[in-house]
Structure 1
Amino acid sequence: MPNTDSLDTFQFSGFKTMGVEVKPIAGPFNLGEGPHWDEGSQSLFFVDIDGCAICKYDSASRTTTKCAIDRKVGFIIPVKDKTEQFMIGYGGDFAVVTWDGKSEKPQDLKIYAKGDPSVDNRINDGKADPTGRVYAGSMCQVKVDGIWKKESSFLYNLEKGEAKVLLDKVGLSNGLAWSLDHKKLYYIDSLMGNVRELEYNKETGRIGNPKVVYSLTPDQGSPDGMTIDVEGKLWIASFGGGRPILAWFLT
């Protein structure tokens, strides 16, 4: 397990730390989440969860477009070889939406798979694995005495129109990232306050043998979204810790 010496912290809103500047390029949004960079269109797709919208930032024109959805949207991922189709977390379910990237309303929206059976839950963060399978988890939207309910949600993967449960007793499913050798899945349940590493089978999509590889301290906030770069460095968004981006080398 790495110590804090392997953890870099970059402040937000114009502060410069270690030669890095982080500044807003679009917004404001109610709750912007789930960024997905599309290399082909040179665009950033993301969602406004509480604003019930899918969004596109065009890097060439530096413009942002929004499309209203009639439920909260947990994530957006382009469908392979379909320029205007996207998989989204659609309330508690999964849906395929057709959107031209410009209109304020979608051209079409169809349920792909039913998700959480509980009406209190919704789909949260999601991502495609190295083979294109979609992994996404859920969270409970109900608080008890001001605290999110634990162990009431799930982590799924989508195959052939079905959402298969990979993990149960999840609190608030969030960041996902795969190791560069495609043998490990790194996963965040925000209510656990840590990053777990799971064995990952690229052929079957199955996961197992979870172990905690990093725990955030209370002053670092809660781990949220996550990605991995070409050097094998995990980038962890910290919610409520005053450190929106944490970088950690896997050693």
Structure 2
Amino acid sequence: MSAEILETIDTGAILGEGVVWNAQTQTVWWTDIQARRLYALTWPGLALTMYETPERLCSFGFIEGDDDRIVAAFETGFALFSPHTGDVSWLDKPAQLTRGRRLNDGRVGPDGRFWAGSMIEKPDAGLSTDDTGFYCLDTDGKARLEQPGLEISNGLCWSPDGTRVYFSDSPAGEIYTSAYNGQDGRFGPREPFATIKDGGPDGAITDADGHVWSAIWGGNRLTRFSPEGDISLDLELPVPQPTCPVFGGEDLDLIFVTTATEGLSDDTLEASPASGRLIILEAPEGVTGLPGYRYRMDR
């Protein structure tokens, strides 16, 4: 099944990622990790703004009570970043983020904590997955490693009631789920949720009915999974490397999808010219998203 494409926004992204909807300003934000750029687009006005970032910005979230800064997962650690001024206030730089390991996909959870996965960027560096997983940036600005053992942590999202969390290990093709304790920000035991055989699960989001939407890197599609892990829908996309979806628009009935050109041949790029663009889709009838969450800092 396909969905109507309303717009594609051409930024020539190498690795578009981390797309987030800001309901207060009716804007969609995303990062091009490798180009060290952050983008903001008004909807439906289509006014595009680009900001340079001091390091590769891997994921980010908005902050409760602070519209001037974002909470940022840069390649070497966590910071508060002002896109308009370029000011950076570092919060925590985990010691494991060295020698070919960096932060990756992330999202603010329903309890106001910010989470970001890490990944082994240089597989030949002899790094152990024991030090690679998801980091929880708590409200005090300190990070701790949770769920180690993942080579490329991705696809972080929560059930509508916040009691379950979903995440993936892209090279393994596995999506997992765990119980989530919003009181202390802890994952329960990891459980299998779904396996992807023709592509890798990348960024993900849940809809208002609790279904998980995963961007399938190398698979030309978004796949929607029921809360039980069964495929309920495949949405074909005109790109081989979709990276991350988010619901947005005034009624949360649009899907914004980032894409990548990284590693694609000239022939593939010619055959899929929407690669590297932000794709804006009309969600299937009856499907809507959930409002996003904001990072809550201790004052």
Give TM class, smaller chain: 0.7 to 0.9
AA aligned to 2:74 is Y
4+ residue runs of structure 1 moved beyond 3 angstroms?
19-23
- 1: CA distance, partners of 2:217 / 2:106: 17
Compared with structure 1, are the counterparts of its residues 116 and 58 closer, same or farther at alpha carbon in structure 2 (3 Å cutoff)? farther
Separation in 1 of the partners of 2:181 and 2:160?
13
Q: Which residue of 2 aligns with 1:49?
A: 33
Is 2:13 the partner of 1:35? Answer: no
Work out the CA distance in 2 between the residues paired with 1:149 and 1:65: 37
Q: Is the 8 A contact 1:123 1:136 kept in 2?
A: yes
- The CA distance in 2 between the partners of 1:112 and 1:123, in whole Å, is 14
Q: Distance in 2 between matches of 1:26 and 1:130?
A: 32
Per the alignment, residue 125 of structure 1 pairs with: 105
Match of 2:226 in 1: 249
Instruction: Give the TM-score normalised by the residue count of structure 2.
Output: 0.71
Quote the RMSD (CA, aligned, Å): 1.9
SS at match of 2:149: strand
Counterpart CA distance in 2 for 1:121 and 1:112 is: 18
Offset at 1:177? 1.0
Paired residue total: 225
Percent identity between the aligned chains?
A: 25
1:149 Cα deviation (Å)? 6.2
Return the alpha-carbon distance in structure 1 between the equivalents of residues 128 and 80 of structure 2: 29
The C-alpha deviation readout for 1:132-182, integer Å capped at 9, x for no partner, is 10011111211339xx96625121101212111112122001111111222
5+ residue gaps in structure 2?
A: 229-299
Q: Which amino acid aligns with 2:154?
A: N
SS of the aligned residue for 1:192 comes to coil
- Is this contact kept in 2: 1:226–1:237, CA < 8 A? yes
Contact 2:107 2:114 in 1 (8 A): yes
- Pairing 1:113–2:73 present: no
CA contact (8 A) 2:53 2:86 kept: no
Which of these residues, 164, 167, 174, is aligned with residue 154 of structure 2? 174
SS of the residue 1:123 aligns to: strand
Cα deviations by residue, 1:78-132 (Å, 9 ceiling, x for unpaired): 11111111011111211110123xxxxx341111111352231111011011021
Pick 1 or 2: higher relative contact order, CA cutoff 8 A, min separation 6: 2
Q: Which position in structure 2 is the counterpart of 1:192? A: 172
- Partner of 1:231: helix, strand, or coil? coil
Alpha-carbon contact 2:201-2:217 (below 8 Å) kept: yes
Deviation at 1:23, TM superposition (A): 4.9
Partner of 1:223: 201
1:110, 1:213 → 2: CA distance?
37
The amino acid across from 1:186 in the alignment is Y
Distance in 2 of aligned mates of 1:249 and 1:167? 23
Partner of 1:83, secondary structure, is strand
What is the distance in 2 between the residues matched to 1:58 and 1:22? 14
Secondary structure of 1:50's aligned partner? coil
- Give 1:232-243 correspondences, 5 Å limit: 232-243=210-221
Task: Tell whether 2:77 aligns with 1:93.
Answer: yes
Gaps of 5+ in 1: 1-9, 11-16, 101-105
Change (3 A) 1:22 1:77: same
Query: In 2, distance between residues paired with 1:61 and 1:20?
Result: 19
**3-state secondary structure, aligned to 1:209:** coil
Question: TM-score, with normalisation over the residues of structure 1?
Answer: 0.84
Between Structure 1 and Structure 2, which shows a larger proportion of strand residues?
Answer: 1
Q: Is the 8 A contact 1:44 1:59 kept in 2?
A: yes
